[in-house]
Chain A
Amino acid sequence: MPSHTSRRGLLFGAAALSTGALITGCTSNESKDDDSDDKSQQVADDKPGKKVTIGFAGPQADHGWLNAINDNAKKRAEKYSDVTLEATEGSNDTAAQIGQVETLINKKVDVLVVLPADGKALTQVGLKAMKAGIPVVNLDRVFASPQAYRCWIGGDNYGMGLSAGHYIGEKLKDKKNARVVELAGLDNLELTKQRSKGFDDALKNYPNIKKVARQAADFTVESGQSKMSQLLQAQKNFDALWNHDDDQGVGALRAIKQAGRDDFLMVGGAGALSAMQAIEADNSVLKATVLYPPTMAASAIDLARALGQGKGVNGMAEFEIPSFVTCYSAVVDKENVGQYMSTGFK
C-alpha cells in the first residue's frame, strides 16, 4: 500500500502539483467540458463545475457547537452555484436519522455528508449508501467500519487535551508546585475521556504541575455553574483550570464571578463566540480556548463537492481527496483571537 501510493505520487503527483493547478487556473472554461483522463488531476476550486447534489444529515442542534455545524454546512453550500444541498431535519434519534439517510439514498444524491448522532449505529446505513455508489463523507462522529465512508473529517478530542495541557504547561512552567484543576464534560461520552487523557499526557511533560481535582459536568450552563462552584469551594487555591466546553464555561465563569475568585488562569474548549469575546476583552480569568472547529462542516461540503466532481484537493499532490482528515485543535488566546473570531459560534 505505501509503495503503491508513493509510486502514484512520484509519477503523477509532481506533474499535478506543478501544472495541474496552473491548467485548472488558466483554462478552467475549456476543461469543464473536457472528459479526458486528466480530469483526475484537477483540484477543486471556487469556479463553477459539474453540478453536484449533496445530501446532508446532521444531528439535532441542541447545543451551540452542533448549531454551528449545521450553519457552516449550509453557508458553504450556498457559496457554490454548482452545489445543491438536500439537508434533512436534524435528529438525535438513531432510527429517525437512519430513515433520513435512506431517503437521501433513494433521492439518488451524488454525495452524502453525515454527522451521525451515534456513529456506530449509523454504520449500516453508511455501508448501504457506499454500496449504492454514493460516496459518504463522515463528519466527526466516526462510523464503526471504514468501508462505510469514503472520507472522514472530524475533530481531535485527544488533541484538544494535549493543546490545553501544553498551553497551561508553558504558562506555569516556572512555577513550583503548580496546581491544576479540570472541569470535564459529560463523562458518559468517550470524547470526554479522550480529552482528559490528552490533557494528562501533556501535563506529564511538566513535572512541576499536579492535577489536584477533576469533576465532570454535563456540557450545560447549569451543570457548569453547579460543578464549578463546588470545585472552587473544594480547591481554595490553584493556578489553572481547563474547562472542556465553552457552553458549560458560561456557567463556570458565572460561578467564578459569584465566588469572587481571580487567582488562576482558565482555558476553555470548543471555541464559542462568547468565550472569544471574553478572551479579547481580557477582563476575566478566561485567557484562552482550545478549538474543536465547527468549520469542519464547511470543509466536509468542500470535500463532498470535490468528490462529486471527481477532483482532488487544492494544495495536495494527491489525485483523490484524502480518506481521513483530522482537524487541528489550535489554541486561541489574546494574541490570535482576531483571526479566529469569525469562527466563534453562539
Chain B
Amino acid sequence: MTQPAPAAEAATHKSTPADGGSPWRAAVARADVRTLSLLGVLAALIVIGGITQPDSFLDSDNVQLILTQASVIGVVTVGMTFVIISGGIDLSVGAIVALASVWATTVATQDFGFAGILFTAVIVGMGCGLVNGVLIAYGAIVPFIATLAMLAAGRGLALQITDGKTQMVTVDGVLKLGERDSYILGIPPLVLVFAAVTVVGWLILNRTTFGRRSVAVGGNAEAARLAGIDVRRQRLYLYLLSGLCCGIAAFLLIILSGSGQNTNGNLYELDAIAAVIIGGTLLSGGRGTITGSVLGVLIFTTIQNIFALNNLETATQQIAKGAIIVAAVLVQRRSATTS
C-alpha cells in the first residue's frame, strides 16, 4: 500500500535491467503475499470443485474447458492491467471486442480467409484503442468518459454493421482452431495464445522501460513528467495496447463461437476490471501485477465452472459470485496488511 513513488526509481533505472539475478529468483521474490493468497483462493476452489463433482471437475476435459473459457477475457484483462496500473480505466473493452468481432466476420473479410479475419480483428481493436488514446492523452478527456463514449459508439457501430444478425464464419481454418483436432499436446490453441499474451505482458511490465514508465505514470504523473517521461505518449500507447488485446480477444472469440455478434464481449469491462482489482492492482494506479490479474480471471472462470457443474440457479450464482469477490479482496487486504 505504501510503496515509495516509483517515478524516481523508474527514472534512475531507465536504461538498466531491473534485476541482476536470474529471472526465476526475481519472480519468486516479487511473488508477494497477495499472489500467494490468490493461489490459496484458487486452490480452495479446486478442492471445492473436486469434492462436489469428483467425476467431472478434475478430468482433463474440464481443465481444458476452464482454461479455454478464461482465454478470451484473460487476454482482455492483460491489457486492462496495464491501463489500470497507469492510473486509467478502459470501459470500452467489451464494445471493442464486439466491434472487432463483427467487422472481422463480415462477408467481405471471409474472402481473405484466415489472415483477413485475424488482421481485421487486430486492426479494428487497435484503431479503437488509438481513438481512446488520442482522446485521453491529447484531448485531455478523462479515461472514464472517453472510454465510456467508445463503449456506446462501439456497441452502436457493431449493431449497425450486423443489423442485429449473427454473422457466421465460413472459413474452415478459423473454425478448426476451436476444435479438438487442433489441440497441441492436449492444449487448445486458444489457451496457448492466452499463455503467450500473459508471458509477453509480464515481460513488458517487469523487464522493459515501457513497463516501468507505465507504473511511473500511474504512481505520480507529474513526477514522471519531471523525470523526463513523455506522459501523453505513454498514455496513448497504453490504450493502443488495450485495444490490441481486445482485437486478439475478438479473434479468439470468433474461433470459439464460430461467429460474430454485436452482443459479443457483453460486460467484459466489468469482468476484466474485477479480475484486475482482485489480482491486487491498485485502482488508483502505480502498482499491479499481470500474474495477479490472470489468477483473478482463473478464479472467476473456475467459480463459474463449479456453479455450472453443480447446476446452480442463475440467482444463486450471482449472489455467490458477489460474495466471493468481496471475500477474495478481504483476504488479500488482510494478508497484505499483516505482512
Report which residue of B163, B180, B309, B314 has the largest number of chain A beta carbons within 10 angstroms of its beta carbon: B314
A193: min CB distance to chain B, Å: 11
Are A230 and B308 in contact, with the CB atoms below 8 A? Answer: yes
Tell me if B179 is interfacial: C-beta within 8 Å of chain A: yes
Are B256 and A220 in contact, with the CB atoms below 8 A? Answer: no
Q: How far, in whole Å, are A215 and B304 apart by their CA atoms in the complex? A: 11
Number of interface residues of A (CB under 8 A): 37
User: Interface residues, chain B, CB within 8 Å of chain A?
Assistant: 53, 55-56, 61-62, 65, 68-69, 159, 163-166, 168, 178-180, 253, 256-259, 261-266, 304-305, 308-311, 313-315
Are B164 and A66 in contact, with the CB atoms below 8 A? Answer: yes
Are A216 and B314 in contact, with the CB atoms below 8 A? Answer: yes
Q: Which of A172-180, A221-229, A283-291 lies at the interface?
A: A221-229
Q: How far, in whole Å, are A101 and B159 apart by their CA atoms in the complex? A: 23
Q: How far, in whole Å, are A234 and B53 apart by their CA atoms in the complex? A: 8
Tell me if A67 is interfacial: C-beta within 8 Å of chain B: yes
A219 contacts which chain B residues (CB < 8 A)? 263
Instruction: State the main secondary structure of chain A at its contact with B.
Output: helix
Are B168 and A62 in contact, with the CB atoms below 8 A? Answer: no
A222-B257, A229-B69 are known contacts. Are A215 and B311 too (CB-CB below 8 A)? Answer: yes
Q: Give the nearest-CB partner of B315 in chain A.
A: A187
Are B311 and A214 in contact, with the CB atoms below 8 A? Answer: yes
A233-B56, A234-B308, A257-B179 are known contacts. Are A222 and B165 too (CB-CB below 8 A)? Answer: no
A222 contacts which chain B residues (CB < 8 A)? 253, 256-257, 261, 263-266
List residues 38-83 of chain A with CB under 8 A from any CB of chain B. Answer: 60-64, 66-67
Are B314 and A62 in contact, with the CB atoms below 8 A? Answer: no
Are B65 and A251 in contact, with the CB atoms below 8 A? Answer: no
B165 contacts which chain A residues (CB < 8 A)? 64, 67, 346
Q: Give the nearest-CB partner of B62 in chain A.
A: A233
Contact of A236 among B56, B159, B259, B305 (CB under 8 A): B56
Are A254 and B178 in contact, with the CB atoms below 8 A? Answer: yes
Q: How far, in whole Å, are A253 and B192 apart by their CA atoms in the complex? A: 24
Q: How far, in whole Å, are A326 and B256 apart by their CA atoms in the complex? A: 38
Are B314 and A187 in contact, with the CB atoms below 8 A? Answer: yes
The 7 closest A-B pairs by CB, nearest first: A230-B308, A187-B314, A61-B164, A67-B164, A220-B263, A234-B309, A216-B314
Contact of B308 among A215, A225, A247, A260 (CB under 8 A): A215
Q: A62-B159, A259-B61, A274-B168 are in contact. List 19 more A-B contacts (CB 8 A).
A: A61-B163, A62-B164, A63-B164, A64-B164, A187-B314, A215-B308, A219-B263, A220-B263, A220-B266, A222-B265, A223-B266, A226-B69, A229-B69, A233-B65, A233-B309, A247-B261, A250-B258, A258-B178, A258-B180
A9: min CB distance to chain B, Å: 43
B261 contacts which chain A residues (CB < 8 A)? 220-222, 247
A251 contacts which chain B residues (CB < 8 A)? 257, 259
Q: How far, in whole Å, are A247 and B165 apart by their CA atoms in the complex? A: 9
Q: How far, in whole Å, are A247 and B68 apart by their CA atoms in the complex? A: 21
List residues 306-346 of chain A with CB under 8 A from any CB of chain B. Answer: 346
Q: How far, in whole Å, are A254 and B261 apart by their CA atoms in the complex? A: 14
A140: min CB distance to chain B, Å: 16
Q: How far, in whole Å, are A242 and B259 apart by their CA atoms in the complex? A: 22
A223 contacts which chain B residues (CB < 8 A)? 266
Interface digits, A154-194 against B, CB 8 Å rule (1 contact, 0 not)? 00000000000000000000000000000000010000000
Are B179 and A247 in contact, with the CB atoms below 8 A? Answer: no
B262 contacts which chain A residues (CB < 8 A)? 62
B258 contacts which chain A residues (CB < 8 A)? 250, 254
Q: How far, in whole Å, are A79 and B180 apart by their CA atoms in the complex? A: 49
20 A-B pairs with C-beta separation under 8 A: A61-B163, A62-B263, A63-B263, A67-B164, A187-B315, A215-B311, A218-B263, A220-B263, A221-B259, A226-B69, A233-B61, A233-B62, A233-B65, A233-B305, A234-B308, A250-B168, A250-B258, A254-B258, A258-B179, A346-B166
